[in-house]
Amino acid sequence: MQRQTRPLHSGWTLHCLGGPGARPGLPEAIAASVPGTVHTDLLAAGLIPDPYLDLNEITVDWVGHCDWRYDTRFNWQDDGADHVELVFAGVDTFAVISLNGIEIGQTANMNRTYRFDVRAHLRAGENHLSVTFQSAWKRGEVLASQYEPRPNNYPGPANLMRKMACNFGWDWGPTLVTAGLWQGLALESWSKARLARVRPEITLDGADGLVRLHADIDQAETALSLKVSVAGVTEVLPVSGGAGTAELRVKSPELWWPHHLGSQKLYPLTVELLAGEELIDSWHRDIGFRSIRLDTTPDDYGSAFTLVVNDAPVYVCGANWIPDDCFLPRVTPERYAERIEQARDANINLLRVWGGGIYETDAFYDACNRAGMLVWQDFLFACAAYPEEGDLPGEIEAEARDNIVRLMPHPSLVLWNGNNENIWGWFDWGWQDVLEGRTWGQGYYLDLLPRLVAELDPTRPYWAGSPYSGTMDIHPNDPNHGCTHLWDVWNDIGYEHYSDSVPRFCSEFGWQAPPTWATLTQSVHDNPLTPTSPGVWHHQKATIGNDKLLRGLKGHLPAPQTMDDWHFATQLNQARAIHFGVAHMRSHRPRNMGAIVWQLNDCWPVTSWAAIDGYGRKKPLWYALRDVYAPHLLTIQPRNDGLAVVAVNDRTLFWRGPVTIKRMRFDGTVLAEWTHWRLCADRLSAAELAIPADLATPGNKRDELLVATMHDSMAIHYFAEDIDLELPKAAAEFALERTGEARWSLTVQALSLIKDLCVFVDRLHPDASISDMLVTLLPGQVHEFTIECVGELSLSELTQSPVLRCANDLVQAASGAGN
């Protein structure tokens, strides 16, 4: 008999069992969805307001403090299977599971799969399945009484349990403490045997692809064999002692590459469990052949931190990934694919799945496999000290084993990371005095997790933390070793200080800005709408975040006087800050070999560091990333006492050609010009060219700029910040043409210097999008924008503030010349 799987996703009802603040008058039974959460069921029934709007997060806080029960009834007929198991892919989090009034098990970890043998408790005909959830807040109180206090950067008991940490709130996320069956569940029936665990180690051996497959098998006393197939190669081997192993060699397969370096060839890998000729279980995944290693070789600067894929050193143009919604079942495979495509379109080649969230569902990694998106996977520890006593170590080991084996077939996964900022916290955040010798997680990061990765997934590198220098003898945030976080810039000083150091690899740095105007006004209904009106303020979770937004403008842009100017100036400043930091780091390749900006996405509408806001709209930062992460980057950087043009080449062919540098007035007058006839950046490298001092020295720094061009790439350098520039009033000629049913072309011909031109089409139609932003035009230059918009557009609407904006506007308004 082949293993049979029957999903149990229908007919569920939800029941409130009470708790602090429980709302009176709730229906006795509420229709429930599985997969789902209590919040989304209540929202679908119209029993709570949308938590993402205005101050409703506070209004629905009671939901997380209540206990809840899910019930369903299903019919079952005995098919003679020896084993029938109830399998839960994801239970959030503390639940008692009962079948026909009999408790069959409990759960305490939302990050692992649970399997319960229910053969003896099923009955022919109707069966009643019940899952009763205890509030995570309530269980947190119990756990807090068991464990001595430990530091936690955020309120809540997340470090005492195995539940998504950001559920309890973060500096970009709301406190919406969920419960529910967040992934699917099923009855599995089998006899004789089943594949309990399949673990393929996939790598390269010279030019050949190599699959070392390990299978653990639950079985009765019966003769079994495994049939393993990939890329036209098949092996059949006997099973012995409940385990089977196979080694398959594929001659010269097509390799899987990150998207900027090659194609993403995937091969079906199939494992069949046979009893004689009878197929009794099977397993399959799409795999890719590639090698991966982490180069940490000591050198003149300290020690390297370089991902090497297929023996090619990869400069990581990355972004941190957080859960894409507070209510996880709403993140469908289609939504994953859309978000990852947005990342790829921004020239991002790696997503770091951050440790305060979840191990994403397979749909995320499948989409990354297809898109050629590398994945750095944190184990789930973030910004807190974690006990190493009680039930927690056992849960952590079970969770890690479960997810290492689940995720290891994915070629996109290239690094396991032990934690987010916890080693840094132990060094610098006063933990040692507070802990007084108590455990804080070091045993997980330096012992348990590396042992499990070495045992289960030896083909991939493990790193103990982000940040981490590679040893507890060197400060974890030492820029000369390992990976570094740069948060003093956003928190304390201006973004120009990104250039103060050259980290070997920067795995977190970021700058805040509000979401797009359409998202802001869709989620906040304050009247008047201001940076400090109640809803806008509530959707800013960072400590004194609005103050930091304004402080960050100082020295760069004028202080905004209106809501429209505040929105534009802070978004522009975010884009410039990250562009500046990344260009600096990339220009120092190979000393620096990676930048992972915080962050790609949001989980709800909020002022945050994201490039894509909580409703999936692109902020100006997204366009800045697309530019500064381009495989060919031309940038002008300070070097010694002068300036240099740097050509950064992340392609596999050399990039060479003439470089022309002009010093110009803002009115377009060329004051000096120089051409170097051949600048050559070898493949996967950077090349520098010193700019002659007379060319790099302005006569009037307020009214001059440098323009460097090489093929289709251009770099612009200003000799002062905008507040000190004599930016002219922007002038241009415009033309609008419909080019398709929902497509428009907007042509702009500059009559003056226009700096960082943006057209915010979402202010006219919330679903409209535009091809480019932050476009700088010299006098006489022309740029064509492509607009996707189902509704009607008019030239007059598109060319008026606050739809059409540029840096010139802000400077002119501050000087009084804009009126």
Cβ atoms within 10 Å of 296's Cβ, excluding its own: 18
Kindly state whether residues 550 and 693 are assigned to the same domain.
no
* 707 and 771 part of one domain: no
Q: Does residue 618 share a domain with residue 672?
A: no
Whether residue 202 sits in one domain with residue 146: no
CA distance linking residue 391 with residue 387, whole number of Å:
10
Among 604, 628, 652, the domain-final residue is 628
Whether 491 and 521 share a structural domain: yes
Q: Which residues contact 8 (CB under 8 A, 6 or more apart)?
A: 34, 72, 74, 129, 185, 186, 187
- Domain finish residue from 724, 757, 780: 724
Mean pLDDT of 298-327: 98
What one-letter code names the amino acid at 236? V
Q: How far apart are CA 792 and CA 232, in angstroms?
A: 54
CATH number, domain with residue 424 = 3.20.20.80
In this structure, are 196 and 168 located in the same domain?
A: no
Helix (H) / strand (E) element for 797: namely helix 795-798
Tell me if 93 is assigned to some domain: yes
> Predicted confidence band at 813 (pLDDT cuts at 50, 70, 90)?
confident
Residue 491: Cβ within 10 Å count: 12
For residue 818, pLDDT over 60 is answered with no
Task: Kindly give the interhelix angle for 563-587 and 545-553, rounded to the nearest 10 degrees.
Answer: 70
Does 226 lie in the same domain as 344?
no
CA distance 334 to 364: 10
Is-contact 770 736, C-beta < 8 A? no
Give the pLDDT mean for 730-749: 97
Question: Is residue 754, in this structure, part of any structural domain at all?
Answer: yes
Place of tokens 């429930």: 32
CA distance 381 to 780: 54
What is d(CA 25, CA 39) in angstroms, rounded to the nearest whole number? 17
Q: Is the model's pLDDT at 696 over the cut of 50?
A: yes
Q: Which residues contact 712 (CB under 8 A, 6 or more apart)?
A: none
Report if residue 102 sits inside a domain. yes
pLDDT tens digits along 645-682: 999 999 999 999 999 999 999 999 999 999 998 999 99
Residues 740 and 706 placed together within one structural domain of the fold: no
Domain final residue, candidates 692, 724, 756: 724
| 306 within domain boundaries | no
Highest mean pLDDT: which range of 22-26, 581-585, 709-713: 581-585
SS3 578: helix
Strands 292-295 and 462-463: unpaired
Give per-residue pLDDT as tens, 479-491. 999 999 999 999 9
Please, which contacts does 691-700 make with residues 24 or more away whose CB atoms are closer than 8 Å? 691/636, 691/642, 691/643, 691/644, 691/645, 691/661, 693/642, 695/661, 695/663, 696/642, 696/643, 696/663, 698/663, 699/671, 700/665
Q: Sign of dihedral through CA atoms 506, 508, 512, 514?
A: positive
Dihedral angle computed from the Cα positions of residues 447, 449, 454 and 459, in that order, rounded to the nearest 10 degrees: -140
pLDDT confidence of residue 819: 44
Q: How far is CA 796 from CA 549, 757, 765, 793, 804, in A?
A: 32, 16, 15, 9, 10
Q: Which of 299, 320, 589, 303 is nearest to 470 (CA)?
A: 303
Smallest CA-to-CA distance from 233 within 252, 213, 250, 247 is with 250
| Residue 384 lies inside a defined structural domain of this protein | yes
- Cis peptide bond prior to 157, omega within 30° of 0: no
Mean pLDDT across 312-341:
98
Nearest to 604 by CA among 166, 235, 245, 301: 166
Residue 309 included in any domain:
no
* Closest by Cα among 118, 117, 119, 116 to 107: 116
Task: Return the bridge partners of 185, or none.
Answer: 88
Express as a percent the part of the chain with pLDDT over 90.
Answer: 96
Is the per-residue pLDDT at 248 higher than 70? Answer: yes
Number of structural domains found in the chain: 5
How many other CB atoms are there within 10 angstroms of residue 250's CB atom?
Answer: 20
Phi, psi of 551 (to 5 degrees): -60, -35
Three-state DSSP class for 63? helix
The mean pLDDT value for 459-483 works out to 98
Residues whose CB falls within 8 Å of the CB of residue 16, separated by 6 or more in sequence, listed in order: 22, 23, 26, 30, 66, 67, 68
409 and 358 share a domain? yes
Alpha-carbon distance 249 to 206, whole Å?
11
Q: What is the pLDDT of residue 817?
A: 61
Residue found under tokens 């789902």: 36
Residues 487 and 361 in one domain: yes
Residue 294 maps to a domain: no
Say yes or no to pLDDT of 222 above 90.
no
Pair of tokens at residue 498: 């990104």
Radius of gyration of the chain (CA): 28
Helices (H) and strands (E) in the chain, counts: 20, 42
CATH number of the domain encompassing residue 17? 2.60.120.260
How far are the Cα atoms of 435, 440, 556, 650, 764 from residue 432, in angstroms, in the given order?
A: 5, 9, 39, 43, 54
CA distance 409 to 269: 9
Give the integer Cα–Cα distance in Å for 181 and 614: 23
Residue 310 lies in a domain: no
- Residue among 731, 777, 776, 735 nearest 751 (CA): 731
Residues 6+ apart with CB under 8 A from 400: 379, 448, 449, 452
Distance, C-alpha 471 to centroid of its chain: 26
The model carries a pTM of: 0.97
Average pLDDT across the chain, whole number:
96
Q: Do 145 and 86 belong to one domain?
A: yes
Report the 10 Å Cβ neighbour count for 436.
Answer: 7
Q: What's 656's domain CATH number?
A: 2.60.40.10
Among residues 721, 708, 714, 713, which one has the least CA distance to residue 573? Answer: 721
Q: For residues 226 and 232, what is the distance between their CA atoms, to the nearest angstrom?
A: 16
Residue at 246: amino acid letter: A
| Kind of pairing between the strands at 374-378 and 350-353 | parallel
| Cβ neighbours, 10 Å, residue 11 | 13
Residue recorded with tokens 């097509």: 254
- What are the pLDDT digits (tens) for 414-441? 999 999 999 999 999 999 999 999 999 9
Sequence-ordered alpha helix ranges (H) in 496-540: 517-523, 534-538
316-321 and 594-597 as β-strands: parallel, antiparallel, unpaired?
A: parallel
User: Residues 144, 71: one domain?
Assistant: yes
Domain residues for the domain of 714 are 632-724
pLDDT tens digits, 598-649? 999 999 999 999 999 999 999 999 999 999 999 999 999 999 999 999 999 9
* Coil vs helix vs strand at 491: helix
Cα angle value 445/448/449 (rounded, 5°): 60
Cα separation of 49 and 72, whole Å? Answer: 26
